[in-house]
Structure 1
């Protein structure tokens, strides 16, 4: 596009510098685009700071089979992404895909999991989403450190995890080496479509660009209408406990417990509708810790070194939003609460599509238009 100001050097501006924005920026830059990231910085309600670093497939997609397929595709592509990050950033993000477990502490929990998985797999081919329902004995054979309260588990070979801090650092390093212009402390106050492109304005000044990708998490709700899009996202509070480092005992990730490659154990098992409140709550942490110790009694002897909370980015149905503007061509919105799981898709599939100017038809199910379908009488 024709330059309108001295700062109009970007082909594409990505608003948001978390895992989602960083992944898209890397994918764009790897395909030759000149990219600028405008990031709020540490004042942002950054979901990335609270991510559990799971690459999780087994329980996703109930009510939207497309999401199950999209998640599985990303899990499969994560091996390629890990290699890309190692090559481009010189960092091993400790990616592994040993399969994941959901541990159940009562027969009722196990039966509920069984029914959920059955409903999920009635939507699609079981061969594509293998899983096993395991009793206590078989779970203990595979996970010798479980406690007597674990009545059984659900296991899927599709699940894995990474080191979340190394991933965030690798995305930043790789984008920097690719020439992405990362600008922190740049809150976008307005986006004005003009002359086939966009002007983004804030206290940082003004930047002109041909395309804009909104990857601002909860901020997308405010920004999307400026370019004819809709992102009706709300916060869902989650809390995390991290223990001191201990000898390796947990190779497989759980949906609520995982041991990092560095030895610390992460415990995360909460969802709260508390608006934008990010205060750590002792009662919730106590319940999380109690369940974790019942699952793995050895955790009772470990010191807690850190607790924190963060806000997930949740759409009304919990599924991602991928959309392109019809009234303002060149504007895209990307919102999800599984930024780590979907990072491979965002780098390797979504970013090239955005650069080409159109999202693939396979992502049509993720349009926010699904929230405006009239109810059938």
Structure 2
């Protein structure tokens, strides 16, 4: 049986980015992917690389996210050179639309808090006249927006495909349909066991999103994640009108328009409902009235992976050194640092030291 340097459990965006990064850094990696029956967040991801407002109130998370945004161009270039198709990466800047003066004041507060926390990101306020110069089709209900040049977007499914193809082209192994049911700590590493076989490796990284919570205790880790449902509505292809990334509407390279997304506590129900879809459509039509005439072609729901405080977990097991927890809900924004920094670090058997504040110990509650 072949033994790997690193087993990555979970083939979504987080696991695939980490696996590609570790393999291209010289490790022998196997990526174990349950497959499309898993609650794959990439299926319903809006595809934003979104930095304005990210991590406000938590400076370490803000700085980590901003760093991810700054190295996304390098990451996109390296990944594009490794595959033969466009992942849809664009960095035109991002607009967060405001439909009331109160919402605009909140964006000003975000800017002030970002600056107070040391966030080195240019965020400006655009009034309605500024927006009309950029986007003549803007609706009368829009009073302004915040804008950051660091924001961008990407096709999350093309990104996932590129990472998995890049891993294999670099000599790594990809095992689809491999649902890990148990992890055994062995003398020289770890064994990931499924109903159809097992894989052994010196180190193991749990990146299986919502599926990692039950596996983490096998190697002395804690990954207290829960689902949050998000729904997205998609229109027919329309003439290009929106070159920017925005908080609620995104026009893809192909011309379709994504309207989203919701934030719902519905457990593991990843379905859709008409009231939520109608709400997303109403909001989009307020921002761009012409969208009221566009035909909706489909909608879907998917599950985000949320920790109790919304920040990532990066941790090595103290009981079983060589076992790592890696999870977050910003799989697109943080893909760059997962691929270019955490993956290469795990190839060497460690996590970057500056991520020590992201362990699960922050959730412990001690009674006096």
TM range (shorter): over 0.9
Residue number in structure 1 paired with 2:276: 284
Matched, 1:53 2:47: yes
Equivalent position of 2:243 in the other structure: 251
Q: Residues 231-310 of structure 1 correspond to what in structure 2 (within 5 A)?
A: 231-310=223-302
CA RMSD of aligned residues (A): 1.4
Partner of 2:311: 319
Q: Is the 8 A contact 1:199 1:207 kept in 2?
A: yes
Task: Please give the alpha-carbon distance, in whole angstroms, between the structure 2 residues aligned to 1:54 and 1:284.
Answer: 21
The Cα of 1:346 is off from its aligned counterpart by 0.8
For 2:112 and 2:280, locate their aligned partners in 1 and report how far apart those are by CA, in whole Å.
27
Aligned to 1:91: 85
For residues 197-236 of structure 1, give each alpha carbon's deviation from its aligned partner in whole angstroms, at most 9, with x where no partner exists: 1111111212211110111000111111111111100000
Partner SS state of residue 158, structure 2: helix
Q: Secondary structure at the match of 1:298?
A: helix
- In structure 2, the gaps of 5 or more residues are none
1:68 aligns with 2:54: no
- Per the TM alignment, residue 158 of structure 1 is displaced from its structure 2 partner at its CA by 1.0
2:200 maps to which of 208, 212, 224: 208
TM-score under structure 1 length normalisation: 0.95
- For the pair 1:183 / 2:179, whether they are aligned, the reply is no
Give how far 1:246 is off: 1.1
Whether 1:196 aligns to 2:188 is yes
Q: Contact (CA 8 Å) 2:57, 2:113: kept in 1 or not?
A: no
Q: In structure 2, what is the equivalent of residue 222 of structure 1?
A: 214
TM-score, scaled to structure 2: 0.97
For 2:132, which of 133, 137, 140 is the aligned residue?
A: 140
Once the two structures are TM-superposed, the CA of residue 112 in structure 1 deviates from its matched residue by 2.2
Equivalent residues in 2 for 1:75-114, closer than 5 Å = 75-114=69-108
- Tell me how far 1:118 sits from its aligned partner: 2.0
Matched residue count: 368
Give 1:373 deviation, angstroms: 5.5
* Distance of 1:72 and 1:262 partners within structure 2: 28
Structure 1 portions without partners, runs of 5+? 1-5
* Shift in Å, 1:63: 2.4
